[in-house]
């Protein structure tokens, strides 16, 4: 059985979705005001592996990914570049899905822009105000809506906030996001009144636009409903974003929003956080320009535990690429075994590969352990082949098992 670490309960749990054979999965997608970097892709790849392994286990997965295309950062970037907001975000979406193809990331069933769920966001805002969780307040001449965390029992349960330290005096935070990753200890904005020159929509709650804080909840509830089995994203989303999304959805419905929350750790570069000021931000195209294929980049980014930070260096990328190529060479060699008498162990070889792979993957999606097991099994088979102790039937069974494994890893064939 699959055991995963649930951020919500802070413990390992046996995976059991709401419905026995079906899984609804929400994965936190990018803000498309700029192209995603390899740190973002580490998160997208961990989410991809989650989906692929659930499907390997026989679940029918319906996965949704959010695209944040309406927010202050996007508005600022569009103005700076002197282009329309839609033109800017669509350009970056093209790059995103080009990289998805390069890295063999499965495109989710629903890829939803925030700009397409304006009415849903307005409906959620209206409902939250009616239920007393949110209220209207005029700021700088505009009518905004704010969520009061003190009104929602259990607020901050994902990030394990100590709400006794939350200020009782009302404070409002008027922006989508703020520099750095501090907790804004006060009321967060849900709906922003229309400012001159900004993207705005006519809705049931007036003219304006949804704040980033309500967009994911609007996207998910419109397309998947108010309860999902899996919610996944980067660990940085544990500051504000995911607790906001959870609170908005659960305050409206009264139902549990997500049964399992999974969060992937950061990717560092030479031991430091990626930033443009340091000049250490890399994109998939940068690695491709140095001769690395999509499988090499994919393997580097998934080879490790998703909840542990990973350090990128070109030396490490070269080493993991060599390891992958060695495995591929040995797998190709299994197909070239000379004819001989069947040993009767072809099923044993195949089962050993699959059992070890599943044992590691069932332990909180330990991709590194799973790959290393496969590598050792293939190396042992390669040695037996060199000694003439393996038959074509043995090899065929092993290769079939490896093809099953690669439905998840997507780096071998």
Calculate the CA dihedral of residues 79, 83, 88, 94 and round it to 10 degrees: -160
d(CA 161, CA 157) in angstroms, rounded, equals 6
Segments of the chain scoring below 50 in pLDDT: 338
Determine the Cα–Cα distance for residues 216 and 244; give it in Å rounded to an integer: 9
C-alpha span between 214 and 102 (Å, rounded): 31
| Residue 17 three-state SS | coil
Helix axes 294-302, 314-334, angle to 10 degrees: 110
Ranges of each domain in the chain: 20-268, 314-413
Token look-up 């999965």 returns 25
Give the pLDDT confidence score for residue 213 in this predicted structure: 97
Q: What is the DSSP letter of 31?
A: B
- Total residue count of the chain as it appears in this document: 413
User: Tens digit of pLDDT for each residue in 36-83?
Assistant: 999 999 999 999 999 999 999 999 999 999 999 998 888 889 999 999
Closest CA to 68 of 10, 122, 4, 115: 115
- Full DSSP string of 133-174: SEEEEEETTEEEEEE-GGGSTTTTTTTT--GGGS-SS--EE-
Question: What DSSP state is assigned to residue 164?
Answer: G
pTM: 0.95
pLDDT computed for residue 386 by the predictor: 87
How many degrees, rounded to 5, is the angle at CA 328 between CA 361 and CA 349?
60
Half-sphere exposure of 330 (CA within 13 A, CB side): 21
The helix, strand and coil proportions of the chain, stated in percent and rounded to the nearest 5, come to 45, 20, 35
CA distance 323 to 54: 26
Report yes or no: 252 and 226 within 8 Å, Cβ to Cβ. yes
At 343 the pLDDT is 56
**Alpha carbons 413 and 394: distance in angstroms, whole number:** 19
242: Cβ–Cβ under 8 A, 6 or more apart, which residues?
Answer: 28, 158, 159, 231, 233, 261
Q: Look up residue 214 and give its two tokens.
A: 């309500």
Tokens 């397409």, residue?
A: 116
Q: Which residue has the tokens 């549990």?
A: 256
CATH architecture under which domain 20-268 falls: 3-Layer(aba) Sandwich (3.40)
User: In three state form, how does the secondary structure of 264-308 look?
Assistant: ECCEEECCECCCCCCCCCCCHHHHHHCCCCHHHHHHHHHCCCCCC
Q: Report helix, strand or coil for 176.
A: coil
- Computed on alpha carbons and rounded to an integer, the radius of gyration of the chain in Å comes to 24
- Asked if the 314-413 domain carries CATH number 1.20.120, the reply is yes
> What's residue 358's pLDDT?
98
């Amino acid at each position: 059985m699959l055991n995963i670490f649930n951020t919500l309960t802070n413990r390992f749990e046996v995976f059991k979705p709401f419905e026995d054979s079906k899984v609804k999965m929400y994965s936190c997608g990018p803000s498309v005001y700029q192209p995603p970097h390899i740190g973002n892709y580490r998160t997208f790849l961990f989410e991809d592996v989650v989906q692929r392994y659930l499907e390997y286990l026989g679940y029918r997965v319906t996965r949704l990914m959010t695209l944040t295309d309406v927010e202050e950062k996007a508005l600022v970037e569009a103005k700076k570049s002197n282009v329309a907001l839609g033109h800017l975000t669509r350009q970056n979406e093209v790059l995103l899905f080009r990289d998805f193809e390069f890295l063999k990331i499965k495109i989710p069933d629903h890829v939803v822009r925030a700009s397409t769920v304006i009415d849903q966001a307005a409906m959620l805002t209206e409902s939250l105000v009616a239920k007393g969780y949110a209220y209207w307040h005029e700021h700088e001449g505009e009518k905004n809506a704010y969520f009061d965390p003190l009104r929602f029992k259990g607020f901050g349960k994902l990030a394990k906030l100590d709400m006794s330290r939350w200020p009782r005096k009302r404070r409002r935070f008027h922006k989508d996001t703020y520099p750095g990753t501090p907790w804004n200890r006060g009321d967060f904005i849900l709906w922003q009144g229309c400012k001159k020159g900004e993207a705005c929509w006519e809705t049931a709650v007036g003219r304006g636009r949804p704040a980033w804080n309500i967009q994911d909840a609007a996207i998910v509830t419109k397309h998947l409903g108010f309860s999902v089995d899996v919610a996944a994203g980067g660990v940085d989303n544990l500051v504000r974003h995911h607790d906001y999304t959870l609170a908005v959805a659960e305050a409206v419905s009264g139902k549990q929003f997500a049964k399992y929350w999974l969060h992937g750790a950061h990717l560092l570069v030479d031991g430091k956080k990626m930033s443009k000021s340091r000049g250490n931000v890399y994109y998939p195209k940068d690695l491709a320009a140095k001769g690395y294929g999509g499988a090499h980049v994919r393997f580097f980014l998934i080879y490790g535990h998703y909840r542990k930070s990973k350090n990128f260096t070109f030396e490490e990328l070269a080493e993991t690429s060599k390891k992958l190529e060695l495995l591929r060479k040995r797998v190709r060699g299994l197909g070239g075994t000379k004819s001989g008498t069947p040993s009767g162990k072809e099923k044993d070889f195949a089962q050993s590969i699959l059992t070890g792979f599943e044992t590691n993957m069932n332990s909180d999606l330990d991709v590194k352990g799973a790959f290393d097991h496969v590598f050792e099994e293939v190396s042992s088979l390669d040695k037996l082949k060199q000694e003439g102790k393996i038959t074509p039937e043995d090899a065929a069974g092993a290769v079939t098992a490896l093809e099953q494994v690669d439905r998840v890893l997507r780096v071998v064939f």
